[in-house]
Amino acid sequence: MKFRYHNIRMILILGLIGFLMGFSVQRNERRAVKHLSVTFVSNDQPFMTLDTVNKLLIQNADTLLTTPKETLVLKEMEARLLLHPMVRDAQVFVTIDGVVGAKVEQRKPIARIWAATSFYLDQDGLPMPLSPLYAARVPLVTGSAELYLGEVHELIMSINQDPFMAQRLVNIAVGADGEMVLELREADFDIILGPVERVEEKLKNFKAFYQKLVQTEEFKGYRIIDLRYNNQVVATKQ
């Protein structure tokens, strides 16, 4: 008898706990969204606004606020954000107290490609549309750039690892054969890099040559600096 009573009591307790948990879950799901919190991983290049993100998070409604939590489909909300051409990654979540959070990583342009319809090249080497909200200060790439996006991406990613070059590069001209010519800020000469190979070695040679010219003030007379040859820099005056 005592054993049966103990079992019945345990069943009742477990049933009560299950009922309370179910009631709590249902009550939580019926809660309306009270706040929207959007975080940009990096906002140094604001290609999107909070209003844009808000509109992407909702459908057929003027605002996300007051929407019941149980009607939210987080994966669909994330998918809508990821479809935006300026978004690299996105995460959407909802807290127990009714806050919908969105963590958005925008794409980062590393170059602007001059073409019939100009576009950016992003950090992943993919084409990225220009933005009406913000113009990124990145090097301009002209010539046959569209034919050599992979090489342009490789070159700029290497240059961006070098503060000396990254601060000075303003333009890259790409020849039909894929050879690159660099233009630096406040410099009267062009740098013939050639094909994108041995980039680190070429840049190292150029910096050593440049520092020597600056010390002697002889760089003012040069118009072309050629880095295509192994272990040497060929400079031409005009």
Q: What is the mean pLDDT of residues 34-56?
A: 82
State how far the Cα of 180 lies from the Cα of 155, in Å rounded to an integer: 9
Contact (Cβ atoms closer than 8 angstroms) between residue 113 and residue 120: yes
Domains delineated in the chain: 31-106 (3.10.20), 109-237 (3.40.50.11690)
Other C-beta atoms closer than 10 Å to the C-beta of 210 total 20
Predicted confidence band at 151 (pLDDT cuts at 50, 70, 90)? Answer: very high
Q: What is the mean pLDDT of residues 182-198?
A: 92
Percent of the chain with pLDDT over 70: 77
Q: What is the mean pLDDT of residues 194-200?
A: 93
State how far the Cα of 13 lies from the Cα of 19, in Å rounded to an integer: 10
Encode 80-93: b = buried (16+ Cβ within 10 Å), e = exposed.
Answer: bbeebebbbebebe
pLDDT tens track for 49-65: 888 888 888 764 555 55
Contact (Cβ atoms closer than 8 angstroms) between residue 86 and residue 106: yes
pLDDT tens track for 128-149: 999 999 999 999 999 999 999 9
130: amino acid identity, one letter = L
Q: What is the mean pLDDT of residues 95-122?
A: 92
pLDDT tens track for 12-36: 555 545 444 443 444 444 455 567 7
Q: What is the mean pLDDT of residues 156-176?
A: 95
State how far the Cα of 190 lies from the Cα of 198, in Å rounded to an integer: 19
What pLDDT score was predicted for residue 5? Answer: 52
> Whole-model pTM?
0.78
Token digits of residue 131: 């933005």
What pLDDT score was predicted for residue 39? Answer: 87
Q: Which residue has the higher pLDDT, 75 or 97?
A: 75
